[in-house]
């Protein structure tokens, strides 16, 4: 298994380019199941999660060909089952459910089960499909959905759910009549998916707001679409610049998608200049504590909570970080404390008192964003940080150690 070794203390400098967004690539690749036509997707990141969804599509019968960051999919579907082996490694595999039911009238998809950051059920996906006329059975750890034809209806999501909104939007594009999704997720990745679907001939309005209207069509066609820049990767590099007191230009991102983070980094004392699709972050000599509450978009993203906590561990003063999107998303806290951080957990709040310095230590990645936060802590810690279980980070960051090392970080991957 690979490890990442980091010698802390280098100030990051230079330019770094952002890859395509994992959370947009996964639903957009899954959407190719809705059409027999050829789908060409550009700016697809080279990540383990993307490899998993490709494998899943191939197992369903699709022809998938990758050339650099371009992916071509032609989805002839031979069977409608997503097995436990593939789903257990990636919860987002549930994204094939909506498209399969819509196009084939049936699907059998393994339930994702719990995961490191909380229970994360898919009840809202299933309730919405039922409301559209699918019969749902839960058997042997699988969701079995069948329908003689989905029908449009109005669906109110009790909680804002990103993959839930995406799954039902994909189901609704081939349903009879009009579907209205209320309290829909407003994340930019939902909008990116809607643009790709509309490119296939779907009729979706309102994506990016909390009411999405989908007029069903009878079939969809070929499409060529691009994946948006990964705002979580961009945000991680912005925090890397701030935590090291460096000066980094993050290129090829969408600053509009990073407003919540930008505001917090400025409040913490970093200087941020926006120029088109580039964001320059210069860290000062010190970081001030700021309070954070995670929220659905456009609020502060839960996917940057752990990284921001890393920054707060070395801030002047005390910050309160409230996690409201997921329960149990503080798995990084114990590892940070092993590096000398002063953090107290109180329910869904972490009270972080800044310390003068972190010390390098052997630490373990527990989930994707937690591992990124430990890399950030390692960049500023005294001595060597040895991060194990780095397969978590490879699920969502394209060659993170190469990109950081080009910015001057003393970081390398070793194979045991
Ligand atoms: C997506 C992102 C993930 C991000 C999260 C929140 C992808 C592939 N993943 O995950 O990186 O952290 O959004 O921005 O895009 N919930 C239910 N029932 C459901 C569905 C969700 O109770 O049927 C709850 C969840 O437990 C959670 C909250 O709703 O507390 C939000 O989850 P959701 O938006 O669905 O997260 P994901 O789509 O899984």
Closest C-alpha to 182, from 160, 162, 151, 198: 160
Please tell me the residue having the least CA distance from ligand 1 atom 26: 120
Verify that 111 and 6 share a domain, yes or no. Answer: no
Last residue of a domain, one of 226, 261, 287: 226
What's the structural domain count of the chain? 2
357: left (phi over 0), alpha (psi -120 to 50) or beta: beta
The closest residue, in CA terms, to atom 5 on ligand 1 is: 162
Q: Are residues 45 and 13 in the same domain?
A: no
Using the 3D structure, point to which of 204, 226, 248 is the last residue of a domain.
226
Rounded to the nearest 5 percent, the helix, strand and coil shares of the chain are 35, 30, 35
- From residue 171, give the alpha-carbon distance in Å to each of 40, 76, 181, 329: 20, 18, 12, 30
Residues 97 and 195 in one domain: yes
Which token pair is 111?
Answer: 């339930």
Question: Are 259 and 199 members of one domain?
Answer: no
Q: What's the gap in Å between 161 CA and the centre of ligand 1?
A: 5
- Based on C-alpha coordinates, what's the Rg of the chain? 21
Distance CA 376, CA 314 (A): 11
Residue 346: strand pairing partners: 349
Residue 259 and residue 335 share a domain: yes
We report the CATH number of the domain holding residue 403 as 3.65.10.10
Boundaries of domain holding 302: 2-19+229-415
Given the CA of residue 302, which atom of ligand 1 is nearest to it?
12
Ligand 1 neighbours by CB, cut-off 6 Å: 23, 26, 91-92, 118-125, 159, 161-164, 189, 302-303, 325-326
Same domain, yes or no, for 256 and 357? yes
Report the pLDDT value the prediction gives residue 114, as an integer from 0 to 100: 47
Residues 353 and 253 in one domain: yes
Residue pair 6/378 in contact by the 8 Å Cβ criterion: yes
368 plus 284 within the same structural domain: yes
Query: 271 and 372 share a domain?
Result: yes
**Contact residues for 275 (Cβ-Cβ < 8 A; gap 6+):** none
Shared-domain flag, residues 196 and 136:
yes
Co-location of 221 and 247 in the same domain: no
According to the model, what pLDDT value does residue 118 have?
Answer: 56
DSSP class of residue 303 equals G
Do residues 204 and 104 both lie within one domain?
yes
Ligand 1 site-directed mutation target among 96, 159, 168, most atoms within 8 Å of CB? 159
Q: Of 207, 226, 245, which closes a domain?
A: 226
Does the annotation count 115 as an active-site position? yes
pLDDT by residue for the chain (416 residues), tens only, comes to 899 999 999 999 999 999 999 999 999 999 999 999 999 999 999 999 999 999 999 999 999 999 999 999 999 999 999 998 888 888 899 999 999 999 999 999 998 754 555 556 899 999 999 999 999 999 888 999 999 999 999 999 999 999 999 999 999 999 999 999 999 999 999 999 999 999 999 999 999 999 999 999 999 999 999 999 999 999 999 999 999 999 999 999 999 999 999 999 999 999 999 999 999 999 988 999 999 999 999 999 999 999 999 999 999 999 999 999 998 899 999 999 999 999 999 999 999 999 999 999 999 988 899 999 999 999 999 999 999 999 889 999 999 999 999 999 999 999 87
């Amino acid at each position: 298994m690979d490890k990442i070794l980091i010698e802390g203390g280098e100030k990051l400098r230079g330019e770094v380019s952002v890859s395509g967004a994992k959370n947009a690539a996964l639903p957009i690749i899954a959407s190719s199941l809705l059409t027999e036509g050829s789908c060409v997707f550009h700016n697809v990141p080279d990540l383990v999660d993307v490899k998993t969804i490709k494998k899943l599509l191939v197992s369903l019968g699709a022809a998938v060909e990758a050339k650099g960051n371009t992916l071509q999919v032609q989805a002839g579907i031979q069977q409608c089952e997503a097995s436990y082996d593939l789903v257990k490694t990636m919860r987002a595999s549930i994204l094939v459910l909506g498209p399969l039911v819509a196009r084939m009238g049936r699907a059998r998809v393994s339930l994702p089960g719990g995961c490191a950051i909380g229970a994360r059920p898919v009840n809202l996906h299933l309730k919405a499909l039922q409301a559209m006329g699918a019969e749902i059975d839960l058997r042997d750890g699988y969701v079995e959905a069948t329908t003689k034809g989905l029908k449009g209806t109005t669906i109110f999501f009790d909680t804002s759910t990103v993959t839930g909104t995406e799954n039902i939007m994909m189901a609704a594009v081939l349903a009879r009549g009009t579907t209205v999704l209320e309290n829909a997720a407003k994340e930019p990745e939902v909008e990116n998916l809607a643009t790709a679907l509309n490119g296939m001939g779907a009729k979706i309005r309102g994506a990016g707001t909390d009411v999405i209207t989908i007029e069903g069509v009878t079939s969809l066609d070929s499409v060529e679409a691009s994946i948006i820049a990964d705002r979580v990767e961009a945000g991680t590099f912005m925090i890397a610049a701030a935590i090291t007191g460096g000066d980094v230009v993050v290129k090829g991102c969408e600053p509009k998608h990073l407003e919540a983070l930008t505001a917090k980094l400025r409040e913490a004392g970093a200087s941020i200049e926006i120029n088109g699709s580039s964001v320059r972050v210069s860290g000062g000599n010190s970081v001030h504590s700021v309070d954070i509450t995670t929220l659905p978009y456009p609020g502060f993203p839960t996917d940057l909570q752990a990284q921001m906590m890393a920054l707060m561990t070395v801030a002047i003063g005390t910050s309160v970080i409230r996690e409201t999107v997921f329960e149990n998303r503080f798995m990084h806290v114990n590892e940070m404390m092993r590096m000398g951080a002063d953090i107290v957990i109180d329910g869904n709040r972490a009270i972080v008192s800044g310390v003068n310095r972190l010390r390098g230590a052997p630490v373990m990645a527990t989930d994707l964003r937690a591992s990124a936060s430990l890399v950030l802590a390692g960049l500023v810690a005294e001595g060597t940080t040895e991060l194990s279980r780095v397969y978590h980070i490879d699920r969502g960051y394209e060659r993170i150690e190469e990109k950081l090392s080009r910015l001057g970080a003393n970081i390398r991957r070793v194979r045991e």
